Amino acid sequence: MHTPDDRIEELIAAAVAGDLSAGEGEELRRLSREHPWIEVEIDRLRDVAARVGDAHPGWTDTVVTEALRERILGGIPAQAAPVVRLRRAWLHPLVGAACLVVGLAIGAAVPAVTSLPPSGPPGTLGAHEPLVVEEGSGIDLEADLVAHTWGTEAILDVRGLTVDATYRVVFIGEDGTEYAAGEMLGSSVPIHCRLNAAVLREQAVRLEIRDDTATVIASADLPDA
């Protein structure tokens, strides 16, 4: 069913493409008097079309084959297809703009793939290293380490800590030196935190979480890096 809104969209597309007949121009002027937003929309679309055309200095028109045109039209709902078929002059720049958008979308997806964390044996810079944690009663703790050039990062997911109690996270070096990584407060909800200590991964041999009485409530021996 061809609705009044479909007709307005068809006329707007024709106006932007410079494809209005004399009768359609009069029809559009009448509709614009009733709906002032139409002229605003036409100006906006003309501006978009101009900016797309200027976006690349080497822009050339894409050859839109009949097969490609039919494939595009085949994916459009039946009620919209008559509008597009009537305005094939408007379809051509839309195909070019669509290709530009697809290219941008593909480009945006590439960093998500290439920026995945590295993997490797213990001590690999930037890699997440899961730990086997010994926990006190009622505590559920998962810990990963990440080696950096400036120190070692602990990524903790903790449940079961006493609400508002203070807990210290400490790395222990191979010579027994302790390196503070920070503190956290117990909470009634799961805690996810990232803490850092100024000790290189290959120099750290143990991770401990201590309560405010210095009692170790969870710990993990670190694999050799």
pLDDT at 83: 46
d(CA 224, CA 121): 9
Query: Which class would CATH give 128-221?
Result: mainly beta
pLDDT at 122: 87
The answer to whether the pTM exceeds 0.75 is: no
Q: Are 133 and 218 in contact (CB under 8 A)?
A: yes
**pLDDT tens string 29-84:** 998 888 888 888 888 888 777 766 565 544 455 555 566 555 555 554 444 445 44
Average pLDDT, rounded, for the chain: 77
pLDDT at 164: 93
Q: Is residue 198's pLDDT more than 90? A: yes
**pLDDT tens string 94-110:** 444 443 443 444 344 44
Stretch 218-224: mean pLDDT: 93
Q: What are phi and psi of 69, to 5 degrees?
A: -60, -45
Q: What distance lies between CA 152 and its chain's CA centroid?
A: 27
Residues 6+ apart with CB under 8 A from 172: 178, 179, 204, 205, 206, 207, 208
pLDDT at 108: 44
Neighbours of 113 (CB within 10 A): 7
Residues 6+ apart with CB under 8 A from 151: 196, 197, 198, 199, 200
**pLDDT tens string 133-187:** 999 889 999 999 999 999 999 999 999 999 999 999 999 999 999 999 999 999 9
Helix spans in 18-133 (H): 22-34, 37-54, 66-74, 81-86, 88-114
Helices 4-17 & 22-34 angle (0-180, nearest 10) = 120
As annotated, the residues of the chain forming the CATH 2.60.40.770 domain(s) are 128-221
Q: Are 161 and 139 in contact (CB under 8 A)?
A: yes
